[in-house]
Amino acid sequence: MPPPVFRFAPSPNGYLHLGHAYSALLNYDMAREAGGKLLLRIEDIDPTRCRPEYEQAIRQDMEWLGILFERPVRRQSEHFSEYRAALEWLGNEGLLFTSFESRAEIAALVAARGPGWPRDPDGSPIYPGNAKEMPEFERVQRIGRGEPYALRLDLQAALKRVKQPLIWHETGEGGARDIEAHPEQWGDVILGRKETPASYHLACVLDDALQGVTHIVRGMDLYESTSIHRLLQEILGLPAPVYHHHKLVLDEDGKKLAKRTRSTTLRDLRAQGWNAKDVRKRVGL
Q: Which is nearer to ligand GLU, 161 or 256 (CB)?
A: 256
- Backbone φ and ψ of 283, nearest 5°: -90, 0
CB of 11 to ligand GLU, least distance (A): 4
Secondary structure of 168-233 in HEC code, one letter for each residue: EEECCCCCCEEEECCHHHHCCCEEEECCCCCCHHHHHHHHHHHCCCCEEEEEHHHCCHHHHHHHHH
Binding interface with ligand GLU (CB under 6 A): 9-11, 43, 204, 218, 222
Q: Closest Cα partner for 163 from 234, 237, 229, 114?
A: 234
CB of 46 to ligand GLU, least distance (A): 10
80 by Cβ neighbours in 10 Å (0-12 / 13-18 / 19+) ranks as: middle
- Closer residue to ligand GLU in complex, CB, 152/229: 229
Task: Report the nearest approach of ligand GLU to the CB of residue 50 (Å).
Answer: 10
Q: Is the Cβ of residue 38 or residue 110 nearer to ligand GLU in the bound state?
A: 38
If the CB atoms of residues 10 and 187 are measured against ligand GLU, the closer one turns out to be: 10
Could you tell me the smallest distance in angstroms from the CB atom of residue 81 to ligand GLU? 20
Beta strands 242-246 and 37-42, pairing class: unpaired
